Amino acid sequence: MKEIRKNLNLSQQELALLLNVSRSTIAMYEKGLRPLPPEASLKWMKMQQQWQENQRKPNLLRPGQNSYLTVQQEQCLAFLNAQAQRAAIRSVSVTQQLAALEDQHRILLQKLHFLKELLEETPRGSRQAELIGNRMQHTLIGLAYCGPERRQLLSYKLQVLTAQQKAALASKVIVQQLRYS
């Protein structure tokens, strides 16, 4: 696996994304310490077959075309690398936003519960009850901001970024295979 992965110029992390496993699974497989999960194993077998088929194909380029195509492929690979890296960086940012939003939601729920208990112990119509009511309103507005719809939106963004990263990496594999065929 390591040899083909290196020939395709893929990191363990990139291959892990393509096979839908963790980077540590790839590392352990390359060291012979763990088998790949069945689905990942099938994907890997298909990638190997495709790689071997491309290795057997004759080079149909005319003299002089090779250097132009190599430059184009290198530019394409650089672009795909940049796309995958951008998606990965944005994924980290969205993951952090999502975690912060979930923390904020949990804290605001606790605050709202506390304010409700406090309001029950406060005489109705008093200035303190009015202030607690205002704080509850402010807390509810905060809860609306970090509610399920917003968290769902961030989860969707994360899925889109993961798909973009996988697409860029899959395209990179194709370009690498063309480059070595």
Provide the pLDDT for residue 180: 62
- Which pLDDT belongs to residue 138? 94
pTM greater than 0.85 (yes/no):
no
Q: Architecture of domain 1-56 in CATH? A: Orthogonal Bundle (1.10)
Mean pLDDT calculated for residue range 29-50: 87
Give the pLDDT score at 64: 47
Task: Find the mean pLDDT for residues 99-115.
Answer: 94
CA separation, residue 67 to residues 52, 75, 77, 78, 177 (Å): 23, 12, 15, 16, 16
Task: Please give the average per-residue pLDDT across 114-118, as a whole number.
Answer: 93
Amino acid (1-letter code) at residue 5: R
Domains of the chain, residue spans: 1-56, 66-181
**Residue whose tokens read 């796309």:** 83
pLDDT tens-place string over residues 67-79: 666 777 788 888 8
